[in-house]
């Protein structure tokens, strides 16, 4: 009788352990980002170590689609758990009730650069729009700041600019036209578009990182506006490209949790991991995009320092995400109308 009780107890314990193990193995969440080398690095730096440590499977999905996120929330059929979005969209989506508030009992908010954290989003990484140029096309003429884009005599050739109506292009046009950095906002749209009109016929537009790299490396564009990590990757591969960090424009990606996420607890744990000092440093070391965690800098590869926005803070302008969150849709309408004129 005693043997039977012990056997039954052991069997029950074994079954319970197996059940818990199966439940842990079965627990999963989705991570949505922009694809390409950036998402590959996010997978390697965040998702794989997180799954190993927590037993929670991270299913990769994408690309990020704002319309799809909104439709999921409004229909109540949310399939995404953590989504990488642009900083201005994160603020706008929060104001529209599309996001879950973050659990800062799990996520260490006090160690995140305050520029890149809000009640509904924590920084994924931050980067700078920098002035990149093809050395073979320009020779000894090295452009110094955004005004060089508008000097077609000294710096001949096509200009590569980001085609989407988001922070960056209008600001650089105003800076080139002499607006002081601390007087950029609210944006003088008439002045910005007037400045862009002067080079409109010389612009080639890029919509993604790979396309921007091709334009610069091939010399199809002599110079232009680029994500710093993409210029670094070209230089790392030996392409004849240079970079100016003067007036570098800081933009950020933010990780958010859609309202109604089915795996909210797992999502908060993932965010804590991805925004940690180690997680941020691992990602930065692979991409040359800057970490949002204040404790990550000491963990970065020393040779990476000259290629990160953290090294150029004195000549840095952080774009106003809140301004764009509020005014972005109206600016987008005008932007799209201007593009087709």
pLDDT at 2: 44
Choice among 20-24, 150-154, 157-161 with the minimum mean pLDDT: 20-24
pLDDT at 13: 45
Judge contact between 327 and 161, C-beta under 8 A: no
Report the pLDDT averaged over residues 269-282. 98
Query: Could you tell me which of 47, 123, 127 has the C-alpha nearest to residue 292?
Result: 123
The number of residues in the chain equals 341
pLDDT at 268: 98
Of the chain, the percentage scoring pLDDT greater than 70 comes to: 92
Helix (H, G, I), strand (E, B) or coil at 247: strand
Choice among 130-134, 228-232, 262-266 with the minimum mean pLDDT: 228-232
- Tokens encoding 59: 């299913």
How deeply is 341 buried, as exposed, middle or buried, from its count of CB atoms within 10 A (0-12, 13-18, 19+)?
A: exposed
For tokens 């990484």, name the residue.
125
**Cα separations in angstroms, 72 against 65, 67, 102, 104, 262:** 11, 9, 19, 25, 12
Domains of the chain: 2-123+253-302 (3.40.190.10), 127-252+310-339 (3.40.190.10)
pLDDT at 16: 47
- Give the contacts of 127 (CB within 8 A, at least 6 positions apart): 227, 228, 229, 250, 251, 252, 253, 289, 290, 309
- Tokens encoding 204: 């080639």
Is pLDDT at 60 greater than 90 in this prediction?
yes
Angle at CA of residue 129, ends 181 and 333, nearest 5°: 80
State which H helix or E strand residue 243 sits in. Answer: strand 241-256
Helix (H, G, I), strand (E, B) or coil at 227: strand
Of the chain, the percentage scoring pLDDT greater than 90 comes to: 85
Report the pLDDT averaged over residues 241-262. 97
Return mean pLDDT, the chain. Answer: 92
Strands 158-162 and 221-227, sheet pairing: parallel
Report the pLDDT averaged over residues 265-283. 98
pLDDT at 7: 44
pLDDT tens for each residue of 101-127: 999 999 999 999 999 999 999 999 999
Question: pLDDT band for position 277 (50/70/90)?
Answer: very high
Question: pLDDT band for position 31 (50/70/90)?
Answer: very high
Cross-strand partners of 86: 253
């Amino acid at each position: 009788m005693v043997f039977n009780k012990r056997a039954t107890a052991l069997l029950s314990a074994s079954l319970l352990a197996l059940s818990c193990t199966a439940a842990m193995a079965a627990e999963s969440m989705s991570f949505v980002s922009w694809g390409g080398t950036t998402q590959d690095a996010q997978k390697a730096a965040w998702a794989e170590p997180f799954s190993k440590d927590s037993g929670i499977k991270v299913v990769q999905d994408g690309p990020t689609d704002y319309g799809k996120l909104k439709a999921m929330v409004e229909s109540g059929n949310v399939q995404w758990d953590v989504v990488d979005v642009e900083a201005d969209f994160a603020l706008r989506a929060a104001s529209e009730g599309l996001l879950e508030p973050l659990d800062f009992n799990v996520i260490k908010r006090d160690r995140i650069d305050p520029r890149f954290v809000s009640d509904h989003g924590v920084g994924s990484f931050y980067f700078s729009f920098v002035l990149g140029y093809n050395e073979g096309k320009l020779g000894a003429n090295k452009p110094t700041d955004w005004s060089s884009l508008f000097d077609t005599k000294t710096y001949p050739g096509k200009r590569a600019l980001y085609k989407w109506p988001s922070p960056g292009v209008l600001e650089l046009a105003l800076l080139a036209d002499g607006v002081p950095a601390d007087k950029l906002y609210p944006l003088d749209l008439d002045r910005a578009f007037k400045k862009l009109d002067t080079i409109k016929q010389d612009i080639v537009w890029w919509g993604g990182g790979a396309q921007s790299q091709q334009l610069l490396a091939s010399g199809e564009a002599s110079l232009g506006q680029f994500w710093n990590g993409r210029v670094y990757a070209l230089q790392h591969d030996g392409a004849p490209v240079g970079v100016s960090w003067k007036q570098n424009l800081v933009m950020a990606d933010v990780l958010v949790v859609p309202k109604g996420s089915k795996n909210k607890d797992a999502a908060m744990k993932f965010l804590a991991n991805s925004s940690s000092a180690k997680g941020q440093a691992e990602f930065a070391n692979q991409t040359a995009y800057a970490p949002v965690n204040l404790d990550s800098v000491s963990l970065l590869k020393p040779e990476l320092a000259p290629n990160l926005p953290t090294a150029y803070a004195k000549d840095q302008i952080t774009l106003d995400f809140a301004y764009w969150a509020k005014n972005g849709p109206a600016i987008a309408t005008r932007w799209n109308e201007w593009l087709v004129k």
